[in-house]
Each structure stands twice: as structure tokens, then as C-alpha cells.
């Protein structure tokens, strides 16, 4: 493998096949091996909603020596494990890109059905006998995905040993012969790849060195959220399965018992949020996870959490909607329900991480914030972020507080006022059973003692209290609330972004800056309360403001305009796919050009 650090590595590989072909498994091995080798990796898998044996799977991985922030619109390499599914993706291969395919199908194919007949003149074909090699070396065709992976690695001189390690780890809990068989299949493919005459110009340069103290883990957003929960000392989790949030519960079910925690799968989402709020009232660090349809069912109990001022954490991984919508497609269309979805004035805190590392940080900090400000906290993910893999570096130091509640001062005069009106809006919180701290909670409006009271002045005072305590969360330590990137000072075009789309926004900004366009981007992580002062200051510097997001209505753009009274340009896409970087670049160019013409 080349070790010339002057050669930058930036290669995107797509593996395409049918469910059952081992497409996702091959992608998992590839991205983990490259992360172990020291490369930066961003990966995203697309899989069908149908049962095993039907539908298309695509595993994409962008492997780089320098930090990047999103997948590329086009891949440099396409590996076909099923030509029928891979043919539509040939158009996504870049000029002078590579297509790897099986050149020995088990039966004759009709004209136009083999992928080789669909390649553009600019594509570079590599044919190999994946199935034949698998059957010859393992007596089965089931390892042809591993053969294809070995062939790919051999062509580009990827380090063989890291693949061996990852394959061994993948089959560690299986019979030993499975590891041997798959490594044999990989090596046979690797040897063929080494011997082939290399046509393309894609090159793997040296990987950046890491500090030995860093723990580097290849993980997706849901797994990072789980690690954040565990490091924050989660006590209880209640959940009901729903795509794409289910894996949060699945991983916690495996890991929580090791940390002394308890998990219960409830009969539905209403039970899940009810139990979560009940556990929070009892003093536990409690959470649940769902998607848009499930969160809609939780709205009433979320209102109780706000009214009763009970800490809880709710992970919402967005998918295509409305209603059942598109369970295996991504979207950013639950912002409105996350921020506003409650009866009455039921503001809660909403965090939206922008990358996998951010999922870890927001998950852990959500528990701190929920307890400090005594309110539900929503962590807003989406399918793209939940399932996107990145190499995350951990320093080894736990960044989250383990303190779980603030017990009232023992000298406080009786009776205990659970909802005492204070200067910062945060009342002294006790948990049930503490001596001298008898109290009740209710969904009714109440006085300082927690007893129902619907008098005008009391409702006004308690409404003030519930809202006025939240802005302090904008200064909570250890979490990025908002951050600006790109050019500082006055710029031609500024982009406001949130959630998973910010990676594409950042890639676009860095691209247009190379063209001489002054551009800047601000990511907003806390969506409620909104950091209005920082957003206004950013907009003051921008000739034009663009808000790209994955929903039809422009929900974040509307939120910003409603809060600031300032118009923005919307770039809304509701395709079920991540945002195309090139679309953002084109829109920036248009806005920068219009501004230049207006200045003449």
C-alpha cells in the first residue's frame, strides 16, 4: 500500500446488491478496516423495507486522509453484487470511475441485463469471477461478497491485515471454520485484484497517524447516542420498536445490564413515555426513543412532563412522513412537532446533533440539561444520521456529570414548595420518599405546593416560570449550541443549517470558497430555545442567507424567520435521500451572482 503522505486520499466506494447478498456485511467490513487503518470514514447504508430476499441494498463509504463532512454525490468505485440493482447506480459513478462486477454469471443473460453493457465510455470496467472463486475456495457461493471485497482491496493495495482482523472479529462468536473460510475467500479475491492491470487513477495515500491515547470507534449515530446514555449514567429505558430508532433500544438492551441499568419494552409508545416520565419523577435518569409516528402519540405525556417539570430524555429519529410515510428513508420533517407539539404553551428543550460525535455529546448532555432545568429534552436525529457511520475519537475521559438531582436545602421552611417561584425559574427538586418533602404532581395548573390552582395570576406566574428557566440552557457548559464555519466577517452568502444536512452544507461552503465566493455556515444545535442573538449576529454579516433542509415546508427556515422577523432563502428537498452537495453549491452561486449584480 502506498505510504506517500503527500498523496491525499478521497475515494468513495459503493457496494450494491440484493437483500441476502451480504452487501451491508461487506460494507461493514470495509469501513471498519479502513477506520482501523487510520483513515477518516463516512458511510451510509440504504436498505429495503421488504423482508429478506427482496429489495436493493447499497453500502457507501467515503474514505479520506483529511477530514470531510459528507458523502460525495458520485462514487469513485461501484461494486456490483447484483446487476439488476446496480445498473441504475452506474450513472452515479464519476468520470474515470471504476465498476467491479462478476464476469462469470451462472447462466446466460439477456442483452442489456449485464452491467457491462451499461457503462459509459468514461467508466473503467473490472470483471472478476466472484461466484466461481467463492465456490472453488469455500464450496459455497455465500462468500462471493467477501471475494469481491478482497478483489477491491487487492486492486487498490489496501492493507490485508486489517481486513483479516475485522473479519475475525465479525465471526468471533461463530464456529472457527467460518473465520478461516472467509479469510480464505478474501485472500483469493485479494490475489486476483493484485494481479490485475490497474487502469484507474484512484490512489490510497498514507493514513494520518493518531495519538495512542485515542479510542477510535467506527459507529453510527444510534450507537453513539447509546454510548452517550451509558456514559451519562442512564438508569432506565422504556421503548417500543420503530424504524429507525429501534437499534437504540436493541443496543441498550444488551449493554444496560452490564452497567446496572434496567430496560423494558412496553406495549406501545404511550406506555413508553409514561413510564419514562414516571421514572424521571422517581429520580432516575430515564429515556425513550421513537420516530415521528411514535412521537405523535407521546404528545400528551410530553405536556405532562413540561407541566410537572419532570426530567426525561426522548430520542426522535426522523423518517419520511407524514403518517407511516417512508420508514427506511430519511427526512427532517419532525422539527415542528419536536418544538411545538404540545397542547398549550408547552415549550421543551430540543437538541439536534449534526454528526455522529454530536450524537454522543447531545445524548449525554441531554440528561444533565433535563435535570438542571427540570423538563423533557428531545434529541432530534434522522435516519441518515442514525445509520451514518463515522470514525469517532474518544479521549478516554467521561465528559458528563453523574449528579442526578438537586435535593432541597434541609433548612428550608415547611411546607415544602416543589414549584417555588425563584429568580431563575428552577425550583428545589425532591424525589418521592425524602423526609419532609411530601408533594404531588398533576397535569393541572398548580400553585407552589403543587396543588391545583387555576387563578389568573397563578397561571401567569407559572407560565413565566416554565418558560423563563429555559434560556439559561443556551449557556450550558460542554455542549456546542451553535458554531460558525468558513469565512468570518462580512460574506456574500451565509448558510444556516441543522441536523445531518449540515455536513453537506459545510462541504458546499468549502467548495465555493475555493471559487472566490465569500461564504460562511452556522450550525444550530439547540433548536428550542433558539439562540436568536447568535443567529441575528450571523445574519447581519450575510448578504444573502440560505437554509437547506430535508423537508417540504422549510420548517427550520420558518422557525428562524418567525423568531427573527428576517427573510431567508429556502432550499427544501423531500426525496428521502440525503441532500445533494451540488444542489447547495449551485444555489450559493446563484445567490452570490445575484448579489454581485445588485451591487453593480
Residue extents of the structural domains in the chain: 10-195, 217-394, 482-599
- How many Å apart are CA 168 and CA 174, to the nearest integer? 10
In sequence order, which residues have a C-beta less than 8 Å from that of residue 475 and are 6 or more positions away?
Answer: 481
Q: Roughly what angle, to the nearest 10 degrees, separates helices 555-564 and 532-540? A: 90
pLDDT at 272: 98
Q: Indicate the pTM of the whole model.
A: 0.92
- Answer yes or no: are the C-beta atoms of 364 and 232 closer than 8 Å: yes
Torsion of CA 246, 247, 249, 253, to 10 degrees: 140
Same fold, 10-195 and 217-394: no
- Answer yes or no: are the C-beta atoms of 224 and 54 closer than 8 Å: no
* Fold observed for domain 217-394: Rossmann fold (3.40.50)
Per-residue pLDDT of the chain (600 residues; tens, 9 = 90+): 444 446 789 999 999 999 889 999 999 999 999 999 989 999 999 887 654 556 899 999 999 999 899 999 999 999 999 999 999 999 999 999 999 999 987 777 788 889 999 999 999 999 999 999 999 999 999 999 999 999 999 999 999 999 999 999 999 989 999 999 999 999 999 999 999 988 777 788 877 776 554 677 889 999 999 999 999 999 999 999 999 999 999 999 999 999 999 999 999 999 999 999 999 999 999 999 999 999 999 999 999 999 999 999 999 999 999 999 999 999 999 999 999 998 999 999 999 999 999 999 999 999 999 999 999 999 999 999 999 999 888 887 899 987 766 665 556 667 899 999 999 999 999 988 888 888 889 999 999 999 999 999 999 999 999 999 999 999 999 999 999 999 999 999 999 999 999 999 999 999 999 999 999 999 999 999 999 999 999 999 999 999 999 999 999 999 999 999 999 999 999 999 999 999 999 999 999 997 666 666
Q: What number does CATH give the domain 482-599?
A: 3.40.50.920
**CATH match for 10-195 among 3.40.50.280, 3.40.920.10, 3.40.50.1100, 3.40.250.10:** 3.40.920.10
Closest CA to 479 of 311, 356, 364, 349: 364
Torsion of CA 550, 555, 560, 565, to 10 degrees: 130
Q: What is the chain's alpha carbon radius of gyration, rounded to the nearest angstrom?
A: 26
pLDDT at 1: 45
In sequence order, which residues have a C-beta less than 8 Å from that of residue 180 and are 6 or more positions away?
Answer: none
Output the CA angle 291-55-79, nearest 5 degrees.
110
- How many Å apart are CA 473 and CA 527, to the nearest integer? 11
Would you tell me how many other CB atoms lie within 10 Å of the CB of residue 38?
A: 16
- How many Å apart are CA 191 and CA 195, to the nearest integer? 6
Closest CA to 81 of 10, 21, 135: 21
Q: Where are the beta strands (DSSP E) in 430-584?
A: 482-486, 491-497, 519-524, 526-528, 542-549, 569-572
Amino acid at each position: 500500500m502506498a505510504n506517500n503522505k503527500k498523496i491525499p486520499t478521497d475515494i468513495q466506494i459503493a457496494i450494491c446488491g440484493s437483500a441476502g447478498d451480504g452487501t451491508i456485511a461487506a460494507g461493514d467490513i470495509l469501513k471498519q478496516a479502513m477506520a482501523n487503518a487510520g483513515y477518516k470514514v463516512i458511510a451510509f447504508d440504504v436498505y429495503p423495507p421488504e423482508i429478506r430476499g427482496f429489495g436493493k441494498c447499497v453500502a457507501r463509504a467515503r474514505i479520506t486522509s483529511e477530514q470531510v463532512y459528507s458523502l460525495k454525490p458520485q462514487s469513485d468505485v461501484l461494486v456490483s453484487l447484483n446487476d439488476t440493482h446496480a445498473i441504475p447506480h452506474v450513472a452515479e459513478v464519476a468520470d474515470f470511475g471504476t465498476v467491479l462486477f462478476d464476469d462469470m454469471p451462472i447462466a446466460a443473460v439477456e442483452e442489456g441485463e449485464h452491467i457491462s453493457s451499461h457503462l459509459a465510455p468514461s467508466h473503467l470496467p473490472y470483471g472478476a469471477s466472484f461466484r466461481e472463486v467463492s465456490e472453488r475456495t469455500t464450496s459455497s457461493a455465500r462468500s462471493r461478497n467477501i471475494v469481491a471485497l478482497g478483489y477491491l482491496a487487492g486492486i487498490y493495495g489496501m492493507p490485508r491485515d486489517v481486513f483479516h482482523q475485522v473479519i475475525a472479529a465479525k465471526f468471533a462468536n461463530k464456529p472457527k471454520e467460518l473465520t478461516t473460510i472467509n479469510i480464505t475467500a478474501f485472500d483469493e479475491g485479494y490475489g486476483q485484484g493484485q494481479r490485475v492491470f490497474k487502469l484507474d487513477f484512484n490512489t490510497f495515500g498514507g493514513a494520518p497517524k493518531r495519538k495512542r491515547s485515542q479510542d477510535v470507534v467506527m459507529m453510527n449515530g444510534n450507537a453513539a447516542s447509546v454510548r452517550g446514555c451509558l456514559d451519562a449514567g442512564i438508569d432506565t429505558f422504556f421503548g417500543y420498536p420503530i424504524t429507525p430508532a429501534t437499534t437504540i433500544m436493541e443496543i441498550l438492551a444488551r449493554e444496560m445490564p452490564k452497567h446496572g441499568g434496567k430496560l423494558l419494552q412496553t406495549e406501545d409508545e404511550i406506555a413508553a413515555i409514561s413510564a419514562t416520565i414516571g421514572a424521571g419523577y422517581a429520580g432516575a435518569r430515564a429515556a425513550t426513543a421513537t420516530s415521528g409516528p411514535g412521537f405523535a402519540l407521546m404528545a400528551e405525556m410530553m405536556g405532562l412532563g413540561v407541566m410537572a417539570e419532570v426530567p426525561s430524555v426522548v430520542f426522535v429519529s426522523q423518517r419520511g412522513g407524514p403518517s407511516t410515510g417512508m420508514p427506511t428513508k430519511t427526512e427532517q420533517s419532525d422539527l415542528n412537532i419536536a418544538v411545538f407539539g404540545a397542547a398549550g404553551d408547552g415549550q421543551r428543550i430540543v437538541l439536534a446533533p449534526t454528526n455522529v460525535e454530536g450524537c454522543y455529546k447531545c445524548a449525554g448532555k441531554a440528561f444533565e440539561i433535563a435535570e438542571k432545568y427540570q423538563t423533557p429534552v428531545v434529541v432530534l436525529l434522522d435516519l441518515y444520521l442514525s445509520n451514518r457511520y463515522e470514525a469517532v475519537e474518544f479521549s478516554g475521559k467521561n465528559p458528563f456529570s453523574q449528579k442526578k438531582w438537586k435535593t432541597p436545602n434541609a433548612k428550608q421552611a415547611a411546607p415544602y414548595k416543589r414549584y417555588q417561584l425563584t429568580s431563575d425559574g428552577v425550583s428545589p427538586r425532591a424525589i418521592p420518599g425524602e423526609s419532609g418533602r411530601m408533594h404531588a404532581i398533576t397535569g393541572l395548573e398548580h400553585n407552589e405546593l403543587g396543588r391545583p390552582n387555576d387563578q389568573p395570576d397563578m397561571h401567569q406566574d407559572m407560565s413565566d416560570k416554565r418558560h423563563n428557566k429555559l434560556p439559561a440552557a443556551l449557556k450550558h457548559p460542554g455542549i456546542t449550541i451553535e458554531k460558525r464555519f468558513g469565512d468570518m466577517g462580512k460574506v456574500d452568502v451565509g448558510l444556516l443549517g441543522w441536523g445531518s444536512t449540515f455536513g453537506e452544507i459545510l462541504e458546499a461552503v468549502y467548495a465555493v470558497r475555493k471559487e472566490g465566493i465569500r461564504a460562511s455556515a452556522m450550525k444550530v444545535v439547540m433548536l428550542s430555545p433558539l439562540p436568536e442573538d447568535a443567529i441575528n449576529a450571523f445574519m447581519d454579516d450575510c448578504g444573502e442567507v440560505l437554509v437547506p433542509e430535508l423537508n417540504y415546508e422549510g420548517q427550520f427556515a420558518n422557525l428562524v424567520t418567525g423568531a427573527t422577523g428576517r427573510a431567508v432563502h429556502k432550499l427544501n428537498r423531500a426525496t428521502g435521500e440525503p441532500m445533494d452537495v451540488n444542489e447547495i453549491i449551485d444555489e450559493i452561486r446563484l445567490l452570490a451572482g445575484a448579489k454581485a449584480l445588485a451591487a453593480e
